[in-house]
Chain A
């Protein structure tokens, strides 16, 4: 038995169904021609699945639009994923054969992706690759090379550098930035005495490869290395810069209490802008963010200093466009389209480097393409936020790290140990020796 109310409800539902059917039918009738047209267009074009981590996605889309306008036979589908899950996402995509033709990659993962056969060397497919060797910075070229083969052209190439708040130092009566790590400690203690609780702040998130890279850059500043020519670890040997620097970090946190950390570089930028911190080591492009008058209240106070240490070297790297094995398996059309795409995005087009230049001018990203140093637009943009001559000095001292297939996996383990030592769960020596043991086990398993 139904009530009047239930009848009315039923009628309303029935009406809604008719309306919904009519709506869906009408919508289908309206969109079908457009869909068919698009399908035909798509079938005429070669589609590329392009995967990036989520940074400047609107700019990426804009660049894709420009590329497609110049190459109407190629359609590009963009997908972006969070940086802190990018490696795992790509492992999942490659393992499940999710369509991926061109993807961002970095030196951290190149070796394992190449060993797995997921990405392919560009110079095995394109004869124009060698022509870029003299036009790309040495550390960037090295970072894109594995086993003598070149796997990409730079999306950007940058350094991890030492930054400081010039005003904060001046207010504390400190005339010049530190030249050594001992000076960093001394200056930080001076700042602490004058009320700055944690003068040194940096990004420390054990899930991100960044923290190993930052540590590496500090070790390079001391003229050290993480591994020797035989790919044996150096950080567990007491006199090695890698050992000394690790202990500097743990002491700075737990003994001198001059160092604090936050989970992401954007948090460091915000924290530095509170005026409560004076030193950091980060990807160099963060200096552009720190000195961006539109977003940073203390813009203009932040300067670059050469990486403290005996040699002032620093870690240089490239993030690059990589072609995948899946693209190769799809055939020559896709290989050719991928080549055009990579060359447009990372290489030279009509004597210009349109995409790398945009990243440099609009976002302050470093670049691996040497000709851009002479570009007046780039020079003008960089001079807004960094002492260009000093930056060039630091670039000349930048170098890539030595490679090994298991580096990315080891880095995951090391970061756990690193974070444990920083949290006083284990000693610095225990963290370093456990990391060396893990390295040696991985080396043995891989057969390195």
Chain B
């Protein structure tokens, strides 16, 4: 028997209040409203708009302590796109996202379904499963590096002592195995949050629907397909979008686990924003690349949203 659940209530905007019209507010109230939001706007301006503007400015210049300063227009963007690493790193980044996002959704749903069942230790498991997500990504990378290391890593040692392998497997120095290792660690760190979000959505599904379907003779899989999955769809979209962004901006796990190697097998675009700026001392190119990634991420989100079935997120809003 499942735990009792609250039936969710949709919050509908009141039809008689025109929130979009500034004319709807008396002048005094409008001024008060502006004053109230001014501190928040100031913080946003300071920590978002200013750095963003500064990045745009720097991206049009040669900004380096060792190269002569110069306005170069869009040259930094052209240089970054034409650089030897851009295409490889972009393909690696998109390929990585294309692999981990479906895996995270799949494992997230499976773990959520498991945790939705009553069993002894369920509560402790829910709390404990957040641990990989709570560990800083760079620490997770180092922990897993000790597991995957070639000649004295825990995984090779375990497989060897069990007689499964007779020569150590070069997990981190073989391109495809290193990619596999990064996927494993990323999924390990991200599954808890995905599962938790999906569990919350799962528990908001009215139990009566399942009971009625069961009375009508629906099988477990049939109920999952007809009730659970459609109800989870908005959260799956949110999880997919969030994890896609996390995958595209993933830096710390690869940096600590493989350092982008072997070769450039696991080097993602975000690494080069760091490298261009702080290793190669070319802050203009670093800013240009960061902006390209930001714009690319926005485009990807829009593309994903357009690719979703109509009303996948806000199905009750209209």
Contacts and interface: CB of A to CB of B under 8 A. Distances in A.
Interface string B60-95: 000001111000000000000000110000000000
A276 interface: yes
Interface string A407-419: 0010011001001
B49 interface: no
A263 B263 contact: no
Nearest to B145: A263
Contact of A419 (B84, B263, B279): B263
Contact of A260 (B151, B267, B275, B278): B151
Interface SS majority for chain B: loop
Contact of B263 (A84, A205, A274, A420): A420
Contacts of B168: 197
A419 B267 CA distance: 12
A116 interface: yes
B152 interface: yes
A112 B281 contact: yes
Interface stretch (A39-47, A62-70, A87-95): A87-95
A391 interface: no
Interface residues of B, number: 34
B151 A274 contact: yes
Among B168, B265, B279, B283, the most chain A Cβ lie within 10 Å of the Cβ of B279
A434 B264 CA distance: 15
Contacts of A205: 259, 261
B172 interface: yes
B66 A446 contact: yes
A271 interface: yes
A412 B260 CA distance: 13
Contacts of A260: 150-151, 170, 173
Nearest to A425: B263
Contacts of B172: 263
A409 to B, nearest CB: 5
B264 A420 contact: yes
Contact of A263 (B167, B170, B259, B279): B259
A253 to B, nearest CB: 9
A421 B264 CA distance: 10
Interface in A194-209: 197-198, 201, 205-207
A139 interface: no
B234 interface: no
A205 B264 CA distance: 12
Contacts of B132: none
A270 interface: yes
Nearest to A111: B66
A246 B281 CA distance: 27
Contacts of B173: 260-261, 423
B262 interface: yes
Interface string A25-65: 00000000000000000000000000000000000000000
Interface in B30-66: 65-66
Interface string A74-105: 00000000001001100110110000000000
B95 to A, nearest CB: 15
Contact of B152 (A261, A274, A409, A413): A274
B144 interface: no
B278 to A, nearest CB: 4
B236 interface: no
A277 B264 contact: no
A405 interface: yes
A198 B150 CA distance: 11
B149 interface: yes
Contacts of B151: 198, 201, 260, 262, 271, 274, 276-277
A206 to B, nearest CB: 5
A95 B262 CA distance: 31
Contact of B175 (A88, A115, A276, A425): A425
A325 to B, nearest CB: 11
A419 B262 contact: yes
Nearest to B178: A423
A206 B278 CA distance: 15
Contact of A197 (B167, B255, B275): B167
Given A425-B175, A425-B263, A91 B278 contact: yes
A267 interface: yes
Interface in B248-294: 255, 259-265, 267, 274-275, 277-281, 283
7 contacts: A95-B65, A112-B65, A112-B66, A270-B152, A276-B151, A412-B279, A423-B263
Given A197-B168, A412-B280, A423-B262, 16 more contacts: A87-B279, A92-B278, A115-B65, A116-B65, A116-B281, A197-B167, A207-B255, A261-B173, A262-B150, A263-B149, A406-B66, A412-B279, A416-B263, A420-B263, A421-B263, A423-B263
9 nearest A-B pairs in the assembled complex, by CB-CB distance = A116-B65, A423-B263, A88-B278, A420-B263, A423-B262, A425-B263, A271-B151, A207-B259, A412-B279
Interface of B: 65-68, 84-85, 145, 149-152, 167-168, 170, 172-173, 175, 255, 259-265, 267, 274-275, 277-281, 283
